[in-house]
């Protein structure tokens, strides 16, 4: 009799596999939209557990909010937020007021949602042009998307660019990276297990030696590998 495989344990949703959201500092989102332009000061730049990009704490004296930090900003810097804000690194304003060719990040998908696109380390979108239907952006994936001109964005590039280029070098670094995340490290490969422990286990070879396509309706103990694959083998 084998033991529950990792996929089964994750599916049960125990405290081991939930995302520790109580460690988060704050949600990174814009304040409610306002036509008036406000002056904010970067009071601190902090690390948010589970997030690869740092957060910038912006304080106007009356309102405080956290947002994704722009590359190159510093503590004490003045940042404008509003429709009539002057375009500058770290400033937040609607896409309709951002010049063509500008790099932006933390772009709202719908006006007032607080920011949804290009929020990871070193990510940015490029404003190609403005039309009656909105602003045309080039996404980090290379695709183009038309977004309403009322959606806000931050000018510049998200901080911590190149973070993923640094190698982990040792297993401990990868382990601590996974602690504030919903996935755990290390994860043992199924083919390295015994037959009783995993459907891919068994045999003195480094491969499964059979198709790993599995039905979407398979029981939890068998539902590993390529679930509901469109095809198996050569075309």
Domain extent, residue 56, equals 21-161
Say how far apart CA 66 and CA 145 lie, in whole Å. 26
Give strand ranges (E) for the chain.
Answer: 38-46, 55-59, 64-68, 78-81, 92-94, 103-105, 125-131, 134-138, 144-147, 152-155, 213-214, 226-227
Domain assignment present for 180: no
- Using alpha carbons, list the distances in angstroms from residue 180 to 25, 29, 166, 194, 215: 12, 20, 19, 30, 32
Residue 185 located in a structural domain? no
Q: Say how far residue 25 (Cα) sits from the centre of its chain.
A: 16
- Position 6 confidence tier, pLDDT thresholds 50, 70, 90: confident
- Whether residue 231 lies inside any domain: the answer is no
Number of domains in the chain: 1
Answer yes or no: is 227 within a domain: no
Average pLDDT over residues 14-25: 87
In a domain, 43, yes or no: yes
Pairing, β 78-81 against β 38-46: antiparallel
Domain membership flag for residue 28? yes
Q: pLDDT tens digits, residue range 148-159?
A: 999 999 999 999
In this prediction, residue 2 carries a pLDDT of 65
Asked whether residue 169 is assigned to any structural domain, the reply reads no
Q: How confident is the model at residue 232 (pLDDT cuts 50, 70, 90)?
A: confident
Give residue 189's Cα distance to chain centre.
26
CATH number of the domain where residue 45 is located:
2.30.30.30
Position 70 in a domain: yes
> Over the stretch 70-128, which tens digit does the pLDDT of each residue have?
999 999 999 999 998 999 999 999 999 999 999 999 999 999 999 999 999 999 999 99
């Amino acid at each position: 009799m084998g033991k529950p495989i990792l996929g089964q344990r994750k599916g049960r949703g125990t405290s081991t596999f939930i995302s520790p959201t109580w460690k988060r500092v704050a949600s990174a989102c814009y304040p409610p939209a306002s036509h008036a332009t406000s002056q904010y000061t970067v009071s601190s730049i902090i690390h948010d557990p589970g997030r690869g990009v740092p957060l910038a704490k912006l304080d106007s004296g009356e309102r405080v909010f956290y947002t994704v930090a722009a590359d190159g900003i510093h503590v004490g810097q003045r940042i404008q937020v509003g429709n009539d804000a002057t375009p500058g690194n770290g400033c937040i304003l609607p896409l309709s007021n951002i010049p063509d060719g500008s790099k932006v990040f933390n772009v709202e998908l719908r006006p007032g949602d607080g920011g949804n696109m290009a929020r990871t380390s070193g990510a940015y979108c490029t404003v190609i042009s403005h039309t009656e239907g909105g602003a045309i952006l080039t996404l980090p994936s290379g695709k183009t998307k038309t977004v309403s001109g009322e959606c806000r964005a931050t000018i510049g590039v998200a901080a911590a660019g190149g973070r993923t280029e640094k190698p982990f070098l040792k297993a401990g670094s990868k382990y601590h990276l996974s602690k504030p995340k919903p996935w755990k490290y290390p994860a043992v490969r199924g083919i390295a297990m015994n037959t009783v422990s995993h459907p891919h286990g068994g045999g003195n070879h480094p491969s499964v030696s059979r198709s790993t396509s599995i039905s979407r309706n398979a029981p939890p103990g068998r539902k590993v590998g390529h679930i509901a694959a469109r095809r198996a083998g050569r075309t």
